[in-house]
Structure 1
Amino acid sequence: MTHRFFGYGSLVNLSTHDYPGARPARLSGWRRVWRHAQLRPVAFLSVERAEDSEIEGVVADVPGADWRALDERERAYARRDVTELVRHDGEIGPTVVYEIESDKLEPPDVSHPILLSYIDVVVQGYLRLFGQDGVDRFVASTRGWDAPVLDDREAPIYPRPQLLSPDERRKVDRILDETGARVAGPEAYDLSRLGAA
């Protein structure tokens, strides 16, 4: 039986992994939210239950149900079974989503900012898979945009950065401006503490 994950953040950017069978999918009953976990120095996307919400993302196969590499990538997250809540154009099979456990999460703050290099990767993934309308839906269905953002584009801290086109950069910058994100350069943060993203 094929086991899958539902990705809703950087995993939507297919340039960051090579899991087979990746394709667009929808997850109902959950929404995205910016959070930081006690086990990570910076903030990332997580999900939380929301009865009337539906989010887009990807499903992809986990060969041999060997979760070790993905669990390491998603450390500080727990796997949740969402098999009955995911829709895509393939056969139904066991599907999980990664969620930061509630006793390990906090909102982003100046000590745990969101990395701009991470936002770049996520938005690029949504642009490539769902187009501009998909990016707009991503922004609208994600809570917590008014968070501190570390502009690390010139020296990315995120371990899987991607090169964005000038147009993609402008789209990301527009999102940050329109959502009220608080963007500051590296001089505003203790980079030695944030380096282990």
Structure 2
Amino acid sequence: MSDSTPDPFFFGYGSLVNRATHDFPNAAKARVTGWARTWKRTRLRQVAFLTAMRKDGAEIEGLIAAVPSADWAALDAREYAYDRHAVERIDHDHPAPVSVQIYATKPEHHTDGSAEHPILLSYLDTVVQGYLREFGEAGARRFFETTHGWEAPVFDDRGEPIYPRHQALSTDETLFVDDALRTLGVRRLTRL
């Protein structure tokens, strides 16, 4: 890739919103239109993770960041259960126009989360910490309000995190997550 070709960007809407989980440059807040965020389990993973699904009129807040020299290998490895798709409609805080891709699981490969395939609390904590840092409490509340699939239970692995990029939460962040789950009536599991 020549020096004159701008780097492509990804749009993160889950753990990639938490800058502590990656070192991709030129990160900026963004919002995509035409995509919704939901919890799904793919046949490639044991637990439920966030994915994006096309949905007219829906919006997702998140973070964009550059993929230097279009070297997608590391990010594709991290997001191995997903395919990349071009984002057509996006607003962002980056100072220049950018080409953006979003990761989404293949519909034929995913199912809803369940007690056998729950949401990991260590993953959710990491995601919400990113939203709190980028968008404040109002933005983190919007994350909970605009995410689908909360019928899946949450496995409480906070004491022994399973998610490999988990981040320790402050007391206030922990209380925020716990209160949001209570408000939504999400069932918590203490064992798999």
Which bin holds the TM-score, normalised by the shorter protein?
Answer: over 0.9
Which residue of 2 is the match for residue 21 of structure 1? 26
What code does the residue aligned with 2:107 have?
S
Q: 1:98 and 2:97 equivalent? A: no
Q: Which amino acid aligns with 1:18?
A: D
Alpha-carbon distance, 1:111 to partner: 1.3
The counterpart of 2:38, out of the listed 12, 33, 47, is 33
Amino acid at match of 2:9: R
- Kindly provide the CA deviation profile for residues 114-165 of structure 1, in whole angstroms up to 9, marking residues without a partner as x: 0000010011000000001101111111001121111000100000010101
**Secondary structure, in 3 states, of the residue corresponding to 1:125?**
helix
Does residue 47 of structure 1 match 2:64? no
Aligned-pair identity in percent equals: 51
Matches within 5 A, 1:80-159: 80-82=85-87, 84-90=88-94, 91-159=96-164
Count of residues in Structure 1 that have an aligned counterpart in Structure 2: 186
- Of 164, 170, 174, which residue of structure 1 is paired with 2:175? 170
Letter matched to residue 103 of structure 2: Y
TM-score by length of 2: 0.95
1:141-192 Cα distance to aligned partner (Å, 9 max, x none):
1001121111000100000010101111010001111112110112xx1xxx
The alpha carbon displacement at 1:3 in A equals 0.4
CA distance in 2 between counterparts of 1:166 and 1:146 reads 26
- The TM-score normalised by the length of structure 1 is 0.92
Aligned to 1:194: none
For structure 2, which runs of at least 5 residues remain unmatched after alignment? 1-5
Q: 1:146 touches 1:179 (CA, 8 Å); kept in 2?
A: no
Matches of 1:173 and 1:144, distance apart in 2: 17
Contact 1:10–1:16 under 8 Å retained in 2: yes
In structure 1, give the amino acid aligned to 2:7. T
- Verify the 8 A CA contact 2:38 2:147 in the aligned structure 1: yes
**What CA deviation, in whole Å up to 9, does each residue of 1:63-113 have, x standing for no partner?**
11011110111111000000x311113222221000011111000011111
Inter-partner Cα distance in structure 2 for 1:104 and 1:168: 33
Q: Does 1:72 align with 2:81?
A: no
RMSD (Å), alpha carbons: 0.8
